[in-house]
Chains A and B, each alone.
Chain A
Amino acid sequence: MTTLLEVKNLKAYYQTPAGDDVRAVDGVSLGLSEGEVLGIAGESGCGKTTLAQVLALTVRKPLYIKEGTVWLEGQDALALDQETMRRDILGKTISTVPQGAMNSLNPTLRVRNLAIDVIRDHYPQITRAEAVERARERLELLGLPSRVLDSYPHQLSGGMKQRVITVISTLLNPKLLIVDEPTSALDVSSQKVVIKLLLELLEKEIIRSIVFITHELPLLRHVADRIAIMYAGKLAELGRMEELIFSPKHPYTQGLVGSILSPEPGLREHKVVGIPGRPPDMKRPPPGCRFGERCPERLAICAQEPPAFELQGREVWCWLLQEQVMAR
């Protein structure tokens, strides 16, 4: 599998009007291969949406890159100028469906205008009619009624809007699709069809890989190949889905998985506990392990920031792993 994306020690901060920095992404390293779905999970304020924005190359003030690199197909993506980025990368190599995208559709225009914009922005030689035709073909290929192109956004249901936006965002067959909370405002049934569409896009090789950002771990259980757990701007654990969900190693991951209320037999048998306390202030993150103050298994050494410990193909940023790794 070829590496599509490589992020090294990325730090992306927000500058507040008062002058200090909110350290939203504070040293994240990960990689993404072609053909895989990488899930990035975390709770509110962990920095996952900021990370999504950096990966989608849509960094705008007050967000700025403090440090780090993002290699896209071997190229330094952060060093590109705006014009090259817009012309060659956005929409063609990377495309994104940001959070709340379905509510950002222009209510006075029919949906097909979005498709026309997307195509003609990169290929101005294509006529409007041709652009609409391509969009229609794509919708039909994916089993969606092409009449939605003639509708206004308010005439479509939430699930349909989200699917249409996803299809239009991928009209130029980008290698990587980044989706940020694509289903958070949807009913469970709509949620399922949106996810089904994403997997179909992958299967039909319209896109090659997905970065799926969400706070709902159960979704990733069904969609992701690998999962990265984010906490307070840093990664806690990164590895294959089965390992993280069914045998998590980092205490935070364990707490998150333990908090899942899945309507399945067995849920009522024991008390679900959750994690006490709250995440740290990202303007002044604590020294050492960010999760330390809430961790039930805190050690003395946790006053220092843990490095990534590699264990059977997964990375865990936790001192508890030190012994296990040493023992090998």
Chain B
Amino acid sequence: MVLATARAGNGSLDGAILAARDLTRVFGAGRHANVAVDRLNFDIKAGETVALIGESGSGKTTTGRMLLGLMPPTGGTVYYRGADLADFRKRHGLKGYWRHVQAVFQDPFASFNNFYSVKRCMMNAYKLFPQKPPPAERLARVREAIAMVGLDVDDMLSKYPHQLSGGQRQRLMIARALVIQPSVLIADEPTSMIDASSRAAILNILLELRQRLGITIIFITHDIGMAYYTSDRLFIMHQGKIVEEGPADEIIRRPQHAYTKRLLADVPTLQREWIL
């Protein structure tokens, strides 16, 4: 386990499916400038499951947006498979990028357009494909994806979002990503608005995807417990920087940075008593 230090700008990107070099995002200017993300450096290997952990204001959500290409960085670079994202955009367009990098967001109730059916939302995913497969095949793949997330296919396809529970919607969001079959899935607080008893099912689905399809998953969350359960490596973010990173077990058992220690001490755990 290594304490994060600023890496040299030309650190090798070998094997990293997604990487950041001095990634920065500043909001506003002058006296009121807010450095949300402060020269982030990290490498994520293909097939890994990592978690970006931070409290509100840590910059984790902004980082997620930049990795997704939804927000341009004000400094530094995002690398996808060794290629600068800005270049990738020029050559393949963002649509090309989104074939490979997809997301599931926090609010299952806001993630759907309530005016349209579930079927339409799922089929919309095909907009990313320059050569769309024939309609029959498109539907078949959508059906397969919905089944993979443990939902009743015919039931779901006939419904509208408002008829579904939060858990069902979130699973459909995962299914939607599956239709696209990305290499990377960014899950931004995927279960924070879901009841505790339904969380495990969704997390287990995501983990299964990793097993079966080798998708790289990046969790963005404030919930250390969830991060520990799901991820191989953890990145602890605080005030726009990564203060500690390493294998999940190491971080939980032997945190090194003062902030990490405090974070872990403040989480209400089951076995260990709080020292108040």
Q: Which residues of A contact B (CB under 8 A)?
A: 43-44, 187-189, 191-192, 195-196, 199, 215-219, 221-222, 245, 255-256, 259-268, 271-276, 278
Q: For chain B, residues 168 to 226, give those with C-beta under 8 angstroms from any C-beta of chain A.
A: 195-201, 203-204, 222-226
Q: Which 4 A-B pairs have the closest CB atoms?
A: A274-B200, A261-B225, A275-B197, A218-B268
B272 within 8 A of A: yes
- State in angstroms the CA–CA spacing of A195 and B276 once bound together: 9
- Chain B neighbourhood of A245, CB < 8 A: 270
Q: Which residues of B contact A (CB under 8 A)?
A: 55-56, 165, 167, 195-201, 203-204, 222-229, 248-249, 252-253, 262-264, 266-274, 276
- Chain B neighbourhood of A215, CB < 8 A: 195-196
Most-contacted residue by chain A among B200, B201, B229, B249 (CB, 10 A): B200
- Chain B neighbourhood of A273, CB < 8 A: 200
Min CB distance A37 to B, Å, is 13
From B196, B198, B204, B276, contact of A196 by CB (8 A): B276
- Chain A neighbourhood of B222, CB < 8 A: 187-188
Q: Which residue of B lies closest to A215 (CB)?
A: B196
Known: A187-B222, A265-B252, A271-B200. 9 other contacts (CB 8 A): A44-B195, A221-B268, A259-B196, A260-B196, A260-B225, A261-B199, A272-B203, A274-B196, A278-B165
A261 near B228 (CB under 8 angstroms)? yes
Q: Which residue of A lies closest to B203 (CB)?
A: A272
Min CB distance A179 to B, Å, is 15
B263 near A188 (CB under 8 angstroms)? yes
Min CB distance A216 to B, Å, is 7
A255 near B197 (CB under 8 angstroms)? yes
B266 near A261 (CB under 8 angstroms)? no
B226 near A264 (CB under 8 angstroms)? no
- State in angstroms the CA–CA spacing of A275 and B75 once bound together: 45
From B55, B264, B273, contact of A263 by CB (8 A): B264
Q: Which residue of A lies closest to B191 (CB)?
A: A261
Min CB distance A290 to B, Å, is 14
B55 near A43 (CB under 8 angstroms)? no
- Chain A neighbourhood of B270, CB < 8 A: 218, 221, 245, 260, 262, 264
From B204, B224, B266, contact of A191 by CB (8 A): B266
